[in-house]
Each structure stands twice: as structure tokens, then as C-alpha cells.
């Protein structure tokens, strides 16, 4: 088990469950997940729906109370920040950073390089391979540069591997070749040297050909002095497939490489309707990933991909499935929430 507070926490004063930040704002959070996680060395975070943050006061209050890191669910993706070539829309992401600062939270940037949610003007018919390379470089420098010094950690390259461990066939692989991953990390580090740089993927939590390939890739890149500083395991599970039993072993081997690790997009979905057995299995899914994180030295954060069933992506993608978060659609704690809180408290 690990203990220790981040440097930012040392600049704040906590009295009777209320933290008074250097800017004078106050945040009450000792009764939530945020308070439970304090002293464990692992930050608790959530993805944030910016429409809900702007329009739902209960949601806004819960984000401030329960979490000490926030990840933009969509507003830092390329399609959102540059919908028209050369015209940038930083406003929603800037708003999230302002909210985080006012509540003493750190921001995970998501994501700089992905094959999905690209702006419609990017395609392989209108640009040469050399032009696509330049566009990607310009994008990374523009976005990481705009947020320089404001982002705690970046998901630099997202989902670059197939399940068998081969490189995913994407616009970036076709245009730039396998070296695009190393290039992206070098560019991101040049643009913002202070951010922790992650490679990030789903089905990356347990031992498999995919995670074997990630282990080799991260090891090889670091041998070449590429600034890959973190390995992100998204943590999207479905209880109908069973829960993986070798998560801790997988996290340990990346920890031994000397990189930071993080669970970056955790949710545990189920086939509906739910019942007490499914909700308990869900709680165990959340808990086993958190325990694995807490039992190694370098796992720095555990982020749920949305904390309430009221705002969640799963039903829109997986027909007949849902209720994948630690709180119900009334923002009341479920067994998964209790498991997270109790696990953090035991690790203090």
C-alpha cells in the first residue's frame, strides 16, 4: 500500500472536511471518493460531460466533490477543437480547465492522436502522406501548446494496436508508417515538457497478446529514448464476459518498466435489467482494477468514464446494456461506489 500527497495538495489547507485553496475557493470533499483516496498515492478521476457540467447543478457539484482529476469526454478530441481546418474551438476545453483549477483538480488531456473522431476535412484523398504527417505534427503542437502547463497527463496515442498485438490499420499508420507513435510522443513532449505522456487502449488490463505487444512496444520505445511515460488501461469491462483474473500481474510488469500506469476509462456494463447479483459483480469489477492499481508503486490515477448512469455512453453503443457507472441515474451510490470508497480507505 502507498501513502503520500501530491505537491498541489500541500498548498491547500483542509479544516473540517473543507479544503481552502490558494485562490480562496473552498471545496468540501472529505465524505466522497476524493476524500477517501487522499493519502493513497492514487488520484480518483472522472470523464466529464460538458453539457451536463453546464446545465445540471447536481452533476457539477458531484464532479467537484467526488474527484480530484477530470478528463474531457469529448471536447479535446480533434474533431471538436479544429472542426474547420485552421479554425480552433478551444472554449469548452478551456472551461473545463477553469472549473478544475477552481476546485483544485488536475486535468487529463484526451486525446492527441486517434484514428476516430477526426474532423471531416482530414482524409487520405485530399492530402499526400507528407501533408498528413505535417497536419498531425501541427495538430499536436497546436493543442498541446495551447494547454501547455495546464494538463497533468496526456493520452498521446490512443488505441493503436489490434487484439492480436499488431498495429491497427489507421490513416496514421498508412501515412506515416509505424514510426508515427514515436513521432507523436516526441512532438507532444516538445510542445509540453511538463505533462506525463501516456499510450492508452482498451482490453489492456489483463495478460494477452495485445498487452504482450504493448509491453514490448513501450520497452522498445523507451530504449530509443522516446518519452513514453505512462501506460493507460481503459478498463471497459462487461460482467457477462467474466472478470479477468490477472490484472495485477499485468500492471506489475508495466510498473517494473518504470512507467506510470493508470486506469483511464473505467466502467463495468451489464445486460439489463440489473439485479442484485449483477450489481455486486459490477462492484467487484470496479474493485479488482482499483486494488491492482493500489498494489503497485507507479499507478497514479483511476478514472471512471462517467460516474452516473444519467449520462453514460454505453446504452447508445451496446444495445440492451448499461448501468455501467458507480452511481445510478439519480446520482445515488451503487455497490460499486461503496466498493471504491472502502478500497481507498483500506489503502490509506
Higher-confidence residue of 115 and 8: namely: 115
Q: Which domain holds residue 323?
A: 7-347
Q: What angle do CA 252, 230, 90 make, to 5 degrees?
A: 150
Residue 20 has pLDDT above 70, yes or no: no
Give me the pLDDT at residue 1, please.
43
Give me the pLDDT at residue 325, please.
98
Is 1 domain-assigned?
Answer: no
Is 2 domain-assigned?
Answer: no
CA–CA distance, 199 with 192 (Å, rounded to integer): 16
For the segment 157-170, the average pLDDT, to the nearest whole number, is: 98
Beta-carbon count within 10 A of 317 CB: 10
Residue 297 has pLDDT above 60, yes or no: yes
Q: What percent of the chain has pLDDT over 90?
A: 91
Q: Tell me the catalytic residues.
A: 159, 265
Is 255 domain-assigned?
Answer: yes
pLDDT band, residue 30 (cuts 50/70/90): low
Residue 177 per-residue DSSP state:
-
Give me the pLDDT at residue 306, please.
98
Beta-carbon count within 10 A of 80 CB: 17
Assign residue 51 a region (left: φ > 0; alpha: ψ between -120 and 50; beta: otherwise). alpha
Nearest to 144 by CA among 131, 132, 157, 133: 157
CATH of residue 92: 3.20.20.80
Give me the pLDDT at residue 31, please.
72
Which CA distances in Å does 247 have to 159, 265, 302, 348? 19, 15, 14, 21
| Per-residue pLDDT tens digits for 191-229 | 999 999 999 999 999 999 999 999 999 999 999 999 999
Backbone angles phi, psi at 128, to 5 degrees: -75, 170
Give me the pLDDT at residue 156, please.
99
CA–CA distance, 258 with 36 (Å, rounded to integer): 26
Domain count, the chain: 1
| Per-residue pLDDT tens digits for 262-273 | 999 999 999 999
Element (H, E) at 157: strand 153-158
| Per-residue pLDDT tens digits for 45-76 | 999 999 999 999 999 999 999 999 999 999 99
| Per-residue pLDDT tens digits for 81-136 | 999 999 999 999 999 999 999 999 999 999 999 999 999 999 999 999 999 999 99
Is 186 domain-assigned?
Answer: yes
The residues pairing with 158 across neighbouring beta strands, listed in sequence order, are 200
Is 85 domain-assigned?
Answer: yes
Nearest to 195 by CA among 107, 115, 257, 255: 107
Residue 189 has pLDDT above 80, yes or no: yes
**Considering the chain, what is the average pLDDT of its residues?**
93
Amino acid at each position: 500500500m502507498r501513502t503520500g500527497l501530491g505537491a498541489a495538495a500541500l498548498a491547500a489547507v483542509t479544516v473540517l472536511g473543507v479544503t481552502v485553496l490558494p485562490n480562496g475557493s473552498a471545496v468540501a470533499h472529505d465524505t466522497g471518493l476524493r476524500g477517501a483516496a487522499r493519502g493513497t498515492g492514487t488520484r480518483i478521476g472522472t470523464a466529464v460531460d460538458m453539457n451536463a457540467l453546464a446545465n445540471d447543478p447536481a452533476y457539477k457539484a458531484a464532479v467537484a466533490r467526488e474527484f480530484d482529476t477530470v478528463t474531457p469526454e469529448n471536447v479535446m478530441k480533434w474533431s471538436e477543437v479544429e472542426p474547420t481546418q485552421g479554425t480552433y474551438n478551444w472554449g469548452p476545453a478551456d472551461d473545463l480547465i477553469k472549473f478544475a483549477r477552481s476546485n483544485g483538480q488536475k486535468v487529463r488531456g484526451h486525446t492527441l492522436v486517434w484514428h476516430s473522431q477526426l474532423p471531416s476535412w482530414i482524409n487520405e484523398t485530399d492530402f499526400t502522406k507528407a501533408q498528413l504527417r505535417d497536419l498531425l505534427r501541427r495538430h499536436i503542437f497546436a493543442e498541446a501548446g495551447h494547454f501547455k502547463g495546464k494538463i497533468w497527463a496526456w493520452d498521446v496515442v490512443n488505441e493503436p494496436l489490434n487484439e492480436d498485438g499488431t498495429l491497427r490499420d489507421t490513416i496514421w499508420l498508412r501515412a506515416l508508417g509505424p514510426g508515427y507513435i514515436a513521432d507523436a510522443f516526441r512532438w507532444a513532449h516538445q510542445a509540453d515538457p511538463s505533462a506525463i505522456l501516456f499510450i492508452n487502449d482498451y482490453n489492456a488490463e489483463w495478460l494477452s497478446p495485445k498487452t504482450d505487444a504493448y509491453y514490448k512496444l513501450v520497452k522498445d520505445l523507451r530504449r530509443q529514448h522516446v518519452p513514453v511515460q505512462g501506460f493507460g488501461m481503459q478498463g471497459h469491462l462487461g460482467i457477462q464476459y467474466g472478470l479477468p483474473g490477472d490484472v495485477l500481474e499485468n500492471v506489475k510488469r508495466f510498473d517494473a518498466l518504470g512507467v506510470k500506469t493508470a486506469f483511464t476509462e473505467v466502467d463495468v456494463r451489464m445486460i439489463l435489467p440489473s439485479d442484485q447479483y449483477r450489481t455486486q459483480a459490477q462492484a467487484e469489477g470496479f474493485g479488482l482494477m482499483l486494488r491492482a492499481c493500489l498494489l503497485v508503486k507507479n499507478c497514479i490515477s483511476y478514472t471512471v468514464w462517467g460516474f452516473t448512469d444519467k449520462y453514460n455512453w454505453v446504452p447508445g453503443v451496446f444495445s440492451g446494456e448499461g448501468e455501467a457507472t458507480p452511481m445510478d441515474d439519480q446520482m445515488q451510490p451503487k455497490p460499486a461506489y461503496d466498493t471504491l470508497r472502502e478500497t481507498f480507505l483500506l489503502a490509506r
